Structure 1
């Protein structure tokens, strides 16, 4: 049985692992311009996914003027299909402050199903970012 854990990053070593995963997925695989990739790192809360202690995925969240944004979800190719994305979304969401009332993200098209499982709904028109098609998705709250 694979042991999957998601940890909140709080040291430079783990942050380097996060950056390495993102570089592989976004810069090398998806050809995103590196200068677009590195921004707002210091104001973000970062998460690292480990499968059997091997770094396999990453994401982060940050507070923006609009609300709370989940972003930079990356899972290394050989680890895809193992629910790592799901674990990352769950970890980021559970780390948000309890009063986070507006939670959103920009989803690549093939990740939209994943986010919709967590209550995110697409809003507005499709748009392009770094050459990749996205939709903005907003988490709908279910108030009792």
Structure 2
């Protein structure tokens, strides 16, 4: 019974809401802005030209939309920023040429890893059967 006293005076929903739901609109935008810059630094670290281009693009996009007041629209833009952040984390890699034709890829724990199949230049590709519809 002593433990239940801790929750008196609290709306039970607010106890279960995550931090993002409790943040003000301004805090969510600032958090997304900082997070995007952080991920860009991690993704493009060591490549100053690309990192600068990413920073400029992030700043331009946030400045372009800073006049938006509608909370729903702001939420959509914050969601877009979070999706871009996830895309940078999981699907963008940095590769450096170590010697002509040989590259070293910077893979992180967040990078999406798929099963690779070796390319077979002698593979026989079957032609579609007559009468088979093709996608347009």
Q: TM-score, normalised by structure 2?
A: 0.30
Task: Choose between structure 1 and 2: higher strand proportion.
Answer: 1
Larger Rg, first or second structure (1 or 2): 2
Task: Choose between structure 1 and 2: higher helix proportion.
Answer: 2
Q: TM-score, normalised by structure 1?
A: 0.28
